[in-house]
Amino acid sequence: MLAPDFDYDAVRRDMPEARVMRGEAYAAKGWVDLVEVFPTGVLAHVTGERGIAYVVEVAVPDGSDARCTCPDFEDSGLRCKHVVATVFTVLDADDAALEAAAGRLTRLTDLLEMEGRDDAGLAVERARRDPALLRALEGEPVS
């Protein structure tokens, strides 16, 4: 696959240094769960300090149209530490990790369909924006 080609300097531009450092720390702690990776961007679930997972979408190259469900972003509309964490994680990931993320939801849909779930497509679509649901679906035993 073609990895999203982020311009990290542009993503960080105009952001307070403390916010960038916190985002990088989140990435280093492994708090970013890459859900979908496209050549044009990424969707991730990022766990915050209080254990709440936020849904983050960032498009290449600079995340100027990024979205996050955290209160910080919703109040200010400015790129938050979760956006930094997501981009940093993508840039730090190896090809295998990016490939795994790129095919993740397709594999999950196939698995649920094999298990006989009629609503597999709908469930996985909802799970894109519902971190707890995604974990539950992926944790379901194969029967």
For residues 115 and 73, the answer to whether their CB atoms sit within 8 Å is: no
Peptide bond into 61 cis (omega under 30): yes
At residue 60, the 3 state secondary structure works out as: coil
DSSP bridge pairs for 38? 41
**C-alpha R_g of the chain:** 15
Name the minimum Å distance from CB 106 to Zn ion: 26
Distance CA 79, CA 73 (A): 6
Task: Confirm or reject binding of residue 73 to Zn ion (CB under 5 A).
Answer: yes
> For residues 57 and 124, which CB has a smaller minimum distance to Zn ion in the complex?
57
Name the minimum Å distance from CB 52 to Zn ion: 10
Q: What is the DSSP letter of 39?
A: T
Question: Which of the stretches 19-27, 36-44, 61-69, 88-96 binds Zn ion when contact is defined by CB under 5 A?
Answer: 61-69
Task: Confirm or reject binding of residue 68 to Zn ion (CB under 5 A).
Answer: yes
> For residues 3 and 68, which CB has a smaller minimum distance to Zn ion in the complex?
68
Task: Confirm or reject binding of residue 31 to Zn ion (CB under 5 A).
Answer: no
Task: Confirm or reject binding of residue 79 to Zn ion (CB under 5 A).
Answer: no
Binding site for Zn ion (CB under 5 A): 68, 70, 73, 80, 82
